[in-house]
Chains A and B, each alone.
Chain A
Amino acid sequence: MASEKITPPVNFYVLILFGLILLSLQLMSSAMQESSELSAMYSWLLLFNALGSVVLLVLVGANIFSLIQHTKRREAGSRLTTRMVSLFVVLALAPAVIVFYFSMQFLHQGIDSWFNVEIDRALEDALELSQASLDQRTRWHLKQTQQVTGKLEESSDSMVAADIENLRELSGASEMTLFSHQGRIIASSSINPGDILPSLPDEHIWLQLRQNGEYVALTPIHEEELMVRVIVTVKTAETKYLQALYPVPVRIADLADSVEFAFVRYQEMNYLRNSLKLSFSLALSLVLLMSLLAAIWVAFISIRNITAPVKELVKGTKAVALGYYDQELPVLAQDDLGFLVESFNDMTHRISQARDETRQAGVEVENQRAYLETILANLTAGVISFDAIYKIRTANQAAYRIFHVHVNQFIGQTLIELVQSYAELAEPLKSIQRLLEQADDIWQQRIAFLGPNGRQELLCRGTPLFSQDGLRVGAVVVFDDVTDLIQAQKNAAWGEVARRLAHEIKNPLTPIQLSAERLQHKLADKLELADAVILQKSTRTIVQQVEAMKEMVDDFSEYAKPSKKQAVVIDLALLIQEVLVLYALKSGVKFNADYGDGAQLIHGDPVSIRQVLHNLIKNALEAIGANGLINISLHRVQKNNTDFIEIGLYDDGPGIKDDQIERIFEPYVTTKVKGTGLGLAIVKKIIEEHGGAIWVDTARKVGAGFIIQFPACNVESL
């Protein structure tokens, strides 16, 4: 378990932000109450919430844009997120819109229900009643003042101040002032002795007074008090004006004020009806908008958190599909998805382990295979394996050395298909193919064929391969080139024969010859002429045959003895030139020689090598007659990283028959009437004693051709 703590889908800061949004909306709701102290902040709260809505809108827009980009890029989890967000928005939006619609309906109908014609009329009537009441009181005070004025008209100037005092007290006015025509104060009396300056009418009152002769009106003083101001003309010699201020009783003033307050309030509310609807609608819309936007934003965050493990799982699965098994996904929550992620981690861990073990096993198998291949490659025996239908599966390097064919290039093909490219190998390959198909058990067969180096003899051993069910799954063939071994055995046998012949036959020859000569010497004179002639012929024949037998024994002796007597560095080009000079003077045969570039050095016995050349050239001369052509080429070749000096000797004679090519180098094999058949055997023996090889060039179709190779003697090694 990577984490033991269960984490909520949204983080702490998002919850705080969400709380702030709710608080702001609550404050705005409170601010809409007229009596609330927050009402002064209403505009700021409205602006703040509007900005909050814009910020949320930008956040939601950015999230939607990001989601669209991710969906376009087909990123992991984007489609799941889109589906979940769409579902959430639809589920959240549908009820919210329905609630919003009906809330608006109720809100508007509720506000409209506050107002009706009856209340409107009642309040207007109440106000009119108050106005009528006050008007009646005003008119009564006007009449009262006019009555007082009559008394004042009779008052003298000296008594006017005292009369005003009396009249004020009599009339119940709070203040009474007598003005001259010009507006100058003549006398004044106030209920409050502290008031030095009486209340003065303004210009509008004077204008109205001069136009109408009297003025009466309710005048507010201070904030809530009412006063009836009455000014009437005093008809004296000089026109004077008497101003009387009558206080409106507090109870009446309060009642009037209450009626006015209710009327004004109702009128104001009626006036603000549409504004109120708009204001509430705006607040409700903001609440809905912010709530929805905040919910969608939080939904984005929550869904992102929920789908995060799914995204990681998708990424991990893709990585595993691509072969990256070292995936360790973080466990973000301890829920079902967390369990899924843990299971995925376990799975990838086990796959990774299995992959490592498989890789290790593969490496071991590969090492083993490489080891076996190395062994096979270094085997002197050729090894070719076949599948169930005898198609080549593997072949080692020795197979190439033996067949001189890159068998590896024919993997997946049968030996018969190989024959089509290398007709000269038809006989051995067909034999092997036939044996493979026929044999149900281990088989061994000696197969001879004519290779590029002459006759080759292979010892083949085949083993069919079976599965555990007993089905044939292939075969393996191991073959050795035993040509040299057999040749060595033959040479040893012939050497032994030659040695015995030389020993057993040569010894009695001399007494036979001496005895024949003694018979001739003793009996020649004693016999008749005819008999003497017969004797002479017979003894001569005996002596000649003994000589011939001696020569034959000498040849055998020569064949049996080792030829590499005194090894020195020889320049083959010079040696060939020296030999050819001898033959060029004697016959009309044309020699065409190519000695190559520079000295062609070998290490050997010059006498033996010279004998090889003599034997071969003699054979060629005997084959071509008096007017023939002998081509001799000399050049350096490289074979198996070893330099050889190759001599090619070709004539234009009748050539060698095919049935004789295989055995041409064996003793007593000859095409000539006279001859022991040891010439080429000795040549081959000498060459092989020098580490070289000789074979008939079977590719040549005209005359006979021999190819001789001697190990080259490098100048550096001298």
Chain B
Amino acid sequence: MRLLKSNNPFCCLVYAVLFFLYASFNAGYAAEFSAEVSQLESVRHGDNYAFSAGVIYHLSDNAKSALQNGVPLFWNLRFKIQQQRDLLWNITLRNDVIRYRIQYHALLNMYRVRNETNGEITSFSTLSAALESMSMVTDFPELKAVDINPQKDYICAVKVDFDRDALPLPLRPIAYVNPQWYLSSNWTLWPLKK
């Protein structure tokens, strides 16, 4: 990334040309800093199904540095339940998004985690504590058992998306081409236990 930090004006023209080649090169790059969904669970409580997921966030040095310098980071935790069909498209029963924001507060020397979906704010003195608070998600909306057809198969899916478009504007072009900013996870699927 030293190239991208160069101050030579003529290099910037070269960057503009190489930008798209570099972007396409990294398009399929499986970053080592991507988040991973470690745990998925669905439990039936009476007439409802409750869902929980465990997510492990790996922050790259660039992401930690940005966070430490006051840049807020956003993740979208996507949750889907679909009825599987053989010939036609799956029917989506649930498509929820929980949006998290983490930001460092220099005044209090704390990390503040905000659940943008419900407005809940929690402050932590360490980054690991803050990430841990985001790792266990249990507040998915419940699914009524009557909406489930016992004869059909259902799958649950969870994905964590790092919102690069919420980064400060000068950081976005780099975030799209630098693997250190590939902080999203892939979709993780598991069958719904009836």
Contacts and interface: CB of A to CB of B under 8 A. Distances in A.
Interface of A: 31-32, 34, 39-40, 42-43, 46, 50, 54, 100-101, 104-105, 107-108, 127, 130-131, 134, 204, 218-220, 222-223, 256-257, 259-260, 263-265, 267-268, 270-272, 274-282, 284-286, 288-289
Given A104-B12, A275-B170, A282-B19, A267 B106 contact: yes
User: Which bracket fits the contact residues of B?
Assistant: 35 or more
A274 B71 contact: no
Given A32-B169, A220-B108, A282 B69 contact: no
A34 B169 contact: yes
Interface string B44-86: 0000000000000000000001100111000000000000000
Contacts of A220: 105, 108, 110, 112, 121, 123
Nearest to B112: A220
B16 A108 contact: no
Contact of A260 (B7, B107, B169): B107
B9 A108 contact: yes
B174 to A, nearest CB: 6
Interface string B93-116: 000000000000111101010000
Interface in B1-25: 4-5, 7, 9-10, 12-13, 15-16, 19-20
A285 B165 CA distance: 22
A267 B12 contact: no
Nearest to A221: B121
B13 A285 contact: yes
Given A267-B70, A282-B12, A285-B13, A222 B121 contact: yes
A278 B108 CA distance: 32
Interface string B106-138: 111010100000000101110001000000000
Contacts of A31: 169
Interface in B163-187: 164-165, 168-174, 176
B20 A39 contact: no
Contacts of B71: 268, 271-272
9 contacts: A43-B165, A101-B10, A127-B106, A204-B125, A260-B106, A271-B66, A282-B15, A285-B16, A289-B16
A276 B170 contact: yes
Given A54-B20, A204-B129, A263-B106, A275 B7 contact: no
B69 A39 contact: no
B170 A279 contact: yes
Nearest to B168: A272
Contacts of A218: 108
Contacts of A284: 12
A125 to B, nearest CB: 13
Nearest to A223: B121
A64 to B, nearest CB: 17
A574 B11 CA distance: 121
Contacts of B16: 281-282, 285-286, 289
A260 B20 contact: no
Contacts of A257: 107
Nearest to A219: B123
Q: Chain B interface mostly helix, strand, loop or mixed?
A: helix
A270 B125 contact: no
Nearest to A105: B9
10 closest A-B pairs by CB: A104-B9, A281-B12, A264-B70, A271-B69, A285-B16, A260-B107, A279-B170, A275-B170, A276-B170, A268-B70
B173 A46 contact: yes
A674 B110 CA distance: 170
Which of A220, A259, A265 has most B Cβ within 10 Å? A220
A259 B107 contact: yes
Contacts of B10: 101, 104
Given A260-B106, A278-B173, A285 B15 contact: yes
Interface in B142-194: 164-165, 168-174, 176
Contacts of A40: 165
A284 B10 CA distance: 12
A276 B174 CA distance: 10
A544 B19 CA distance: 147
Contact of A50 (B19, B65, B70, B169): B19
Contacts of A282: 12, 15-16, 19, 173
A270 B7 CA distance: 15
A212 to B, nearest CB: 14
B69 A268 contact: yes
Contacts of B165: 40, 43
A718 B134 CA distance: 135
Contacts of B9: 100-101, 104-105, 107-108, 281
A265 B71 CA distance: 9
Contacts of B12: 104, 277-278, 281-282, 284-285
Nearest to B65: A271
A131 B107 contact: yes
A131 B109 CA distance: 10
Given A42-B169, A219-B123, A282-B173, 13 more contacts: A54-B20, A105-B9, A108-B7, A257-B107, A260-B105, A268-B69, A268-B71, A271-B66, A271-B70, A274-B7, A278-B4, A282-B19, A289-B13
Contacts of B66: 271
A259 B105 CA distance: 11
A287 to B, nearest CB: 10
Contacts of A263: 70, 106-107
A287 B135 CA distance: 43
Contacts of B108: 218, 220
B127 to A, nearest CB: 13
B172 A42 contact: yes
